Chain A
Amino acid sequence: MSGLEAVILTIITAATPLLLAALGELVSERSGVLNLGVEGMMVMGAVCGFGAAFVTGSPLLGALAAIGAGMGLALLFAVLTLTLVANQVATGLALTLLGLGLSGLIGEAFVGQPGVKLGRVSIPGLTDIPFIGRILFGQDPLVYVSLALTGAVAYVLFRTRLGLTIRAVGDNHQSAHSLGYQVIATRYACVLFGGACAGLAGGYLSLAYTPQWIENMTAGRGWIAIALVVFATWLPLRVALGAYLFGAVTIFGFYVQAMGIGIPSQFLSSLPYLVTIAALVVISGSRMLTRVNTPACLGQSFVPER
């Protein structure tokens, strides 16, 4: 395996969890719900995914458990913000704090245990093609899932009636309600989708990226995913682009460290966070980029008039 091929492979694995989580958050935000609990849902997905795979030996069941964990927390968030109209920012923070705490408690038994690694796809003939074979045909299945999901989200949001409903609900919930759309039900569905994606993203970390459980192993990736949605100006294809750019930044840090250049490792580890801040500043500074696609009702509670 050549050096460049290895770099590309690691970038893809670093980008996939960000892409999955950000896609879910994008759908949720397009329906007008700002869920800041991505980090909490992700870390719960990571611990439950690891646990289920550890107990059953099946990474597939692990991935399903991760999705379930993410959706469970998302449901909690939805009940509070949509049914009880609690503040979305505060509830999202609560979700993150609860997820981090609960995952630490659940995961205590798993610390130091060997994980079950999600295998890579192998297609005889195709995977063996030099250079592009492993990149195109030899990833783990979730990489393909994340890419298919990007296409699916883009298609549904902009080419179908369902997508139109979601965007209408996110842009003007009063009008959407007057037209007879189910605002609350649509938002419930979008928040749950977001939870499933965040859970799966966490599961990817503990099943494929580093198959083990470490407390707080998400290390802020949930927050970076939320920033990615802003960075991508709420467009799915740009989310994918952004996720791969961030993946590249993370991996760049590792490689510089491995080359033994005299930059402290802590500085390189802080690169993704600094890049996130820089990206937010650049995008937010340009009104033209943000105004067009920002869901107008983002973060606002909806109580139907009676």
Chain B
Amino acid sequence: MRLVLERRSEHSQAMAVLSPVIAIGLTLLAGAIIFAMLGLDPLYALYIYFIDPLTSLWSLEQLVVKATPLILIGVGLAICFTANVWNIGAEGQLTMGAIFASAIPILLPAWQSPLALGSMIALGCLGGMIWAFIPAILKTRFGASEILTSLMLVYVAQLFLDWLVRGPWRDPMGFNFPQSATFQGWHLMPTFGGTVHLGSILAVVIVLVLAVMVGRTLTGFEVKVLGNAPRAGRFAGFSRSRMVILCFLLSGALAGLAGMAEVASTVGQLQPTISPGYGFTAIIVAFLGRLNPVGVLLAGFLLAISYLGGEGAQVTLGISDKIARVFQGILLFFVLACDTLILYRVRFETARAPRLAPGE
């Protein structure tokens, strides 16, 4: 039996909507198998992992908090990937954004005003943009693969952060722990009662703005043309280099903002690890959201469940929270596999029946 692909004459609209759903279904199935292999009741484990986080107010708030950086980064990456620009280094841009933003609470701890928070947001975006500009310029000037350079810069940014919190920016009153002083007052994102903070609102607004940009403006059209039909884009006079730089600056700024929002809320200080790999998980968010800003919004919540579920499963089921990353990886695989259904019909041929090709 062999699998045969037949190109559809047009994209299947139904499959474009269904493929992420099928992928999620298949991931749950794979999850059930993994849980069974670990000796757990699969249905109970799936309930604890994927449904339980949705049943209390506290965990719903946590869900929003965890979805925020994923959505911020994911929506930027979605636009990059649509334009065929491969920014893989969002984790590094997040780190740089966090470092730049932390300069204010660490260097000017006494400056307490809404302006201080505004400056932190601006610096966070700037840090991410600077870090993203390096692979962009290396790509457009020298043709160096942006995939590799942006990824290498993740390690450099993390080592730089490590040096800062163990060296010059270590809290002098912190008993030699590798962390900065904790942030206070206007150096933290304002919250709405619980743990949901201003960053979440910003994320939703940004998603809506970018959805309009992609769907309704010339820039959005350029993104799609240069990604899907680079030759047509060139004939239309769209500049590939300009697009690479634009995409990197945009996604870098958003990743930097996500980093700033993390240190100014959940983390509350600078420490060697400030993100559980949001920059990489956001790649999955972008693809699961079918590279569409609104889709990213939904996908961000789903991936946030995978983080929360992992924590819950560790407590309730006694299994490692590392299982979250396994689920995330499997999910991306199924998403990519199911995307084939949009462009192709899949058939199984049982025997190698002699098929006469035309002209034979």
Contacts and interface: CB of A to CB of B under 8 A. Distances in A.
Nearest to B6: A306
Contacts, number: 136
A284 B329 contact: no
B329 A102 contact: yes
B168 to A, nearest CB: 10
A86 B339 contact: yes
Interface string B206-221: 0000000000000000
Contacts of A285: 141-144
A282 B126 CA distance: 27
Contact of B142 (A83, A227, A273, A281): A281
Interface in A84-118: 84-87, 89-91, 93-94, 97-102, 104-105, 108
Given A105-B326, A277-B153, A284 B344 contact: no
A273 B336 contact: no
Contact of A276 (B152, B283, B327, B340): B152
Nearest to A89: B86
B148 interface: yes
A152 interface: no
Main secondary structure of the interface of A (DSSP, over half): helix
B86 A85 contact: no
B163 A267 contact: yes
Interface residues of A, number: 46
Contacts of A98: 326, 329-330, 332-333
Interface in B143-159: 143-145, 147-149, 151-153, 155-156, 159
B86 A104 contact: no
Contacts of B336: 80, 86-87, 90-91, 94
A269 interface: yes
B7 to A, nearest CB: 7
Main secondary structure of the interface of B (DSSP, over half): helix
Given A270-B156, A273-B155, A94 B332 contact: yes
A76 interface: yes
Interface string A17-54: 00000000000000000001000000000000000000
Contacts of B151: 220, 223
B353 to A, nearest CB: 13
Contacts of B162: 266
B280 interface: yes
Interface string A240-282: 0000000000000000000000001011011001101100110
A185 interface: no
Interface residues of B, number: 51
Contacts of A85: 5, 340, 344
A269 B326 contact: no
A230 interface: yes
A291 to B, nearest CB: 10
Contacts of B81: 90
A267 B142 CA distance: 25
B143 A220 contact: no
B169 interface: no
B5 A303 contact: yes
Nearest to B160: A266
Contacts of B283: 93, 97
A190 interface: no
A287 B322 CA distance: 44
Interface of A: 36, 76, 80, 83-87, 89-91, 93-94, 97-102, 104-105, 108, 219-220, 223-224, 226-227, 230, 264, 266-267, 269-270, 273-274, 276-277, 280-281, 284-285, 287, 290, 303, 306
Given A266-B166, A273-B152, A274-B156, 8 more contacts: A76-B333, A84-B340, A86-B339, A220-B155, A223-B152, A267-B159, A281-B138, A303-B7
26 contacts: A80-B336, A80-B337, A83-B3, A86-B336, A86-B339, A90-B287, A91-B333, A91-B336, A93-B88, A94-B336, A97-B284, A97-B332, A98-B329, A98-B333, A101-B329, A104-B320, A219-B155, A223-B151, A227-B145, A273-B155, A277-B138, A280-B144, A285-B141, A285-B142, A306-B355, A306-B357
